[in-house]
Amino acid sequence: MKQTIFEKDGYLMRSNSETRWAGMMDALRIDWHYEPTLVSTRHGYYLPDFYLPGAGIFVEVKGPRPTQVEIEKATDAGASTGKPVVIACGDMDFCYPGVGGAELFICCKHGAVRYSTFEFHKIILAGLGDETYKRYLRAGIKHSHPGSMSATELVDEYLKNLMHRSEQEQYMASVAKPLNAEKAQRHRQTSPPEWALIKFFEVVRSKEAA
């Protein structure tokens, strides 16, 4: 049975890459919700993988580099929601003194601006402290997938295979919705990484407006 569901903190995700990026956000103390918002774009409906409520940002995870159509979807989603969209892609891996192998594409009306994940290690160390930096490095270590599924993943794969596509989507959403709602009810202050993201995108928007 080919694995198409990957469990992370009770969520049913669509790829191992999504669970790894979720783990990186956890390491940096960035709160996330999974697939909460369906957005209309010029290429049809679009469901970004993550929404970061503390920073007001959507994150879409891709394997290889995004296509032009994927960039246009993300750009349209950002324009219609007023929330920036970042596409995270590539094979993230530990590469001391940082985490390399992956890229972040900031999608805006003037095109997509690319950053390497390796570029952020100095900012994380200097601005967020040694403990956060160590968590960031640990999250970047690539572990081979075990090749076997947990009991939860096996059951969910079986159930998913019995459903039509629309039923599969409804099922995945039914699992994520209460978990997202539970997270939304937690009241906490904006974390330093979330604050840094807010400030970063304020600069991006000011450059767009110029």
pLDDT score for 161: 81
The DSSP call for residue 145 is -
Confidence (pTM): 0.91
- Per residue in 43-71, pLDDT (tens digit) is 999 999 999 999 999 999 998 889 999 99
pLDDT score for 146: 61
pLDDT values of the chain reduced to their tens digit, one per residue, 210 residues:
678 889 999 999 999 999 999 999 999 999 999 999 999 999 999 999 999 999 999 999 998 889 999 999 999 999 999 999 999 999 999 988 999 999 999 998 777 889 999 999 999 999 999 999 999 999 999 876 666 778 888 888 877 788 888 888 898 899 999 999 999 998 788 999 999 999 988 887 777 766
pLDDT score for 147: 62
Map out the domains of the chain as residue ranges: 6-198
Strand partners, 41: 44
Alpha carbons within 13 angstroms on the beta-carbon side of residue 153 total 18
Written as six digits, the tokens of 171 are 């099922």
Rounded distance between C-alpha atoms, residue 198 and residue 210, angstroms: 19
Long-range pairs of 157-166 with CB within 8 A, sequence gap ≥ 24: 157/1, 157/3, 157/4, 157/5, 158/1, 160/4, 160/5, 161/1
pLDDT score for 210: 64
pLDDT score for 1: 64
Written as six digits, the tokens of 206 are 């000011």
Alpha carbons within 13 angstroms on the beta-carbon side of residue 160 total 22
The amino acid present at 204, given as its one-letter code, is V
Strand partners, 99: 94
The angle at the Cα of 107, spanning 21 to 190, to the nearest 5 degrees, equals 55
The amino acid present at 210, given as its one-letter code, is A
Query: Is the distance from CB of 54 to CB of 26 less than 8 angstroms?
Result: no
3-class DSSP assignment, residue 66: coil
